[in-house]
Every structure is written in C-alpha cells, then in structure tokens.
A = this chain, B = another copy of it.
Amino acid sequence: MKIEKTTLTVAQHPTGVDLAIPVITLTGTEPGPKVYIQANLHGAEVQGNAVIHHLLEAFKANPPRGQITLVPLANPIGINHKNGEFTLGRFDPVTGVNWNRQYHFDGSELAGFVAEHQEQSDEAIRDAFRQRLTAQLDQRLDSPWGLTVGQHLCLRLQRMAVEADIVLDLHTGPVSGRHLYVPRYARERARDFNIPLNILMPSEFGGALDEASFSPWWQLAERFASQGRELPVFVDSFTLELGSQEYLNVADARRDALGVLNYLQHSHRSAPWGALWADSPFQSEPVTRHACELEDYRAYYSPNGGQVEYLAPLEQLLKAGEPLARLWHFDRLAETDEAGLCDTLTLPCDAIPVLHFASASVQRGTELYKLLTNTFEL
C-alpha cells in the first residue's frame, strides 16, 4: 500500500493567506473499490478527525485493496472562525449559507443521458455517468463569473468524492447521540455501522455531500427502473453524526472507527463493488438500531423564550406527554402566579430524542430537540 500526503488549496483570505486541506491517499497493491472519507466540514464538529486518525492506523495495519482518500479538517474557514469562545462553523459567516448545502447536482441532464445510454452495459453506464458528473463539476469550477466561497470549498471536495464508490461524511450534532443518515436503498448495509439511531433518506437532492453523492446515481437507477431496466445504485454515501460538537476524545473515536471499518469490510456482499479485504479483520460491537423515515425525523421548537433544563435523555424512547424539557422564566420570580415560573414541555407523540440545542438560553422558536418518531428497528 502506498501512502501519499498532499494539500489542496480551497480558500484564500483577504491578506493572501491560502487555506489548504490535508489529503491522504492510500493506494492498495490490488485493485478494489474507491472510498472517500472526510471530517469536520462543520467547524465545531471535530470528532471525525480522530476517527480518521484511527482509520489510518487500521489501514496501515490491514492494507486494503483499491484506493482510500482521507480528508480531515475539511473546512479550514469554518474550523478557524470563532465568535466568542465557540467555533461558528455551520454556515458562511458572510452569507449565512450552511457549508453542507453547497454541493452540486443538476438533474436536468438525466433524461438525455438515459436516452443516450439505453443499450450499454451496466459498467459502461457507470463509467460514462461518472465522467458526466466529473465534467459538470469541472465546468462549474471553471466559471468566468467565479464561485462563492462555499463553492470553492465544496466543489473541490466533491471533485474528489465523485471518483469514489463509497463516500462517508463525518459530522456531529450539537449535544447529540450517534446517528446515521441512510439512503433507503442501502439500509441493510447501513446496519454494519452499528450506530444506534438511523434516518432513512429519499433520493432527493438538497445540497449536502451525502445527497450530492448518492442522488445522481439513485435517480439514474430510478429512471432506468421506470423503463424496466434494473440498474444498481453504484455509489453508497452516508453522513455519520458521531456525538456532540466541540468535543474531542481520541480514545472514544476508536469505537466509531470500528463501525466504519465493519461497514467497509462487509459492503461488497450486497453492493456492486469488490471487497476491500480478502477477509474481515475488524470487530465492531453490535448495538440495537432504531430508525425512522426522514419525514418522521422531527424538530421541536421552543414555544417561548427562556432558560432550559434538558430533561429527556438522548437515544431512549420518550412517551407522549413525558417531560422533554423544562423552560424557566426567571423574569417571573416573585410574581404572584407561581405556576408561570416554568413550563414543562412535552411532545404530542412517542419519540426518541436524537440531539438537543447546545445553549441554556433559547428564544421562542429555537430548535430544542430533534427526535425520531414512528420508529422501527433497523
């Protein structure tokens, strides 16, 4: 296995400083699938870097076939941007646009592509379609009108990811349990990550890297399917949410790395690519997996301003009407209506809390919790 380390410039500051990301490429001695893994696109979500550290060690100890690209610290603008002590890294501080909504997919060429490639083999379609996606990205990167700050970053990341059969984007929530965004077609394979909470995604594109990676291939397969031809979805892509932001624990990241390795060593069994290893060298601890559809992944917004005690534990079923959070109104201390001092917030249905807001002070309308509803075991 050959290990190459390069850097890729993705941004330039007003003072002329170039911001670059590290790109590590592992090339096996035998051919095999291509895998792309990035971490820390949102600036405060650091734990994925530690997972990449463990993955690199594991790949060194058990060299895979094929090619693996690892990109830690994927967003130097977001990681380096502070307001107060915390990292303000979810969105471009100039425009407000979420860093993970700036990837590209233009579906308008799909119909034409399908018409042109009706008669070709699965493999020829795969190669031609990847070439098409690559060309779309290269064309955008070359626009005479320029690109936004976020596109300069995201399209360069996507340009690497588009070459891969497997794309993993390592994020975290605010204060959060581990959860996984799963494209519905890959739900069986997704079990191997051993992540307790799972959200099943449809084929639509909303700008995120996982969607930008799977939507084109999935929509291609859907179009062929509507014409009676069964084409595999040639790419798997997942967003992993590995706990809480602003939290680094390298020892703890080993568990998550083993889940990723477990998925990697087994995915070829049901997917249209080969094995990364001849055997299955990694052991990941099984967990009970709960899941729901994306439309059942609900946010609960604070009905009033106040200061919050987050009561409902994460990753555990909360029954309808059980206390979710307590919202304190200390401005009402010593008022005659003692009942007004705090509200106990509850939900209209059973749900499993996935994450909650990171601050104790909330406005009316703050997203307090996100929760799985209508859950089932995966």
Contact = CB atoms under 8 A, between A and B. Distances in A.
Interface of A: 3, 5, 11-17, 19-20, 22, 24, 43-44, 46, 49-50, 52-53, 56, 70, 72-73, 76, 79-88, 90-98, 144-152, 174, 246-250, 298-309, 326, 328-335, 341, 348, 357-367
A94 B82 contact: yes
Given A17-B19, A53-B341, 6 more contacts: A13-B79, A15-B79, A17-B80, A43-B361, A91-B95, A246-B358
A250 to B, nearest CB: 6
A251 B16 CA distance: 22
A73 B307 CA distance: 10
A366 to B, nearest CB: 7
A81 B17 CA distance: 13
A123 B152 CA distance: 51
Nearest to A363: B149
A126 to B, nearest CB: 30
Contacts of A357: 85
Nearest to A152: B365
A15 B305 contact: yes
Contacts of A76: 13, 15, 17
A332 B88 contact: no
